[in-house]
């Protein structure tokens, strides 16, 4: 599949803006970097963003995440290899990404609120919004996966 538009070349401010929000979340959000990579991976799987799936598998692996856990992110609810905090974050990420009923159910909020502070929930939600934005840009422009190289940690 060929890319439609190289948005990063013709409108570099888009990427700069999204990277800026991501940097804010990383610096101020109080969230574990590995957790954010797992959430980025799960949301990218839902949205079928090949570029981002490739990127976040590689980034998570560079942070020390195991292949066994990475292979199981898509079925996190069926396995016992993730912590309660990670499971709550996956549940929240899926609900925020799939707003099919127009809202996030109270039971999902209650689950995430047991594991995260209100400030962490706000930052986790922003992180989910950022990866959804990247996914929608890359999927709509048909940016191919399989070409990401880890260049060090931000």
Splitting the chain (154 residues) into consecutive groups of 10 residues, what average pLDDT does each group show? 84 94 95 98 97 96 97 98 98 95 92 98 98 96 81 59
The answer to whether residue 16 is domain-embedded is yes
The answer to whether residue 148 is domain-embedded is no
Domain that holds residue 100: 12-140
| Three-state DSSP class for residue 91 | helix
Say which CATH number the domain at 86 has.
Answer: 1.20.1290.10
Domain count, the chain: 1
Q: What does residue 139 show for φ and ψ, rounded to 5 degrees? A: -70, -45
Q: How far apart are CA 150 and CA 154, in angstroms?
A: 10
CA 1 to chain centre: 23
The answer to whether residue 150 is domain-embedded is no
Q: How far apart are CA 83 and CA 85, in angstroms?
A: 5
Q: How far apart are CA 127 and CA 89, in angstroms?
A: 11
CA 45 to chain centre: 9
Structural element, H or E, at residue 114: helix 106-115
Provide the pLDDT for residue 152.
Answer: 64
The residues, any chain, with a CB within 8 Å of residue 84's CB and separated by 6 or more, are 114, 115
Structural element, H or E, at residue 36: helix 33-47
The answer to whether residue 83 is domain-embedded is yes
> End-to-end distance of the chain based on CA atoms, in angstroms?
30
Q: How far apart are CA 62 and CA 14, in angstroms?
A: 26
The residue with tokens 């439609």 is 4
Give yes or no for a contact between 15 and 8, defined as CB atoms under 8 angstroms apart.
yes
pTM for the whole thing?
0.92
The answer to whether residue 88 is domain-embedded is yes
Give yes or no for a contact between 95 and 105, defined as CB atoms under 8 angstroms apart.
yes
């Amino acid at each position: 599949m060929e890319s439609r538009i190289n948005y990063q070349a013709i409108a570099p401010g888009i990427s700069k803006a999204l990277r800026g929000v991501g940097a804010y979340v990383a610096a101020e959000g109080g969230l574990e970097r590995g957790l954010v990579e797992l959430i980025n991976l799960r949301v990218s799987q839902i949205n079928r963003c090949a570029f981002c799936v490739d990127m976040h598998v590689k980034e998570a692996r560079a942070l020390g995440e195991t292949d066994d856990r990475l292979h199981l992110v898509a079925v996190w609810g069926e396995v016992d290899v993730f912590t309660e905090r990670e499971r709550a974050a996956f549940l929240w990420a899926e609900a925020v990404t799939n707003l099919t009923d127009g809202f996030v159910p109270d039971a999902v909020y209650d689950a995430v609120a047991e594991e995260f502070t209100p400030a962490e929930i706000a930052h986790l939600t922003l992180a989910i919004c950022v990866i959804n934005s990247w996914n929608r840009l890359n999927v709509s422009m048909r940016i191919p996966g399989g070409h990401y190289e880890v260049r060090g940690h931000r």
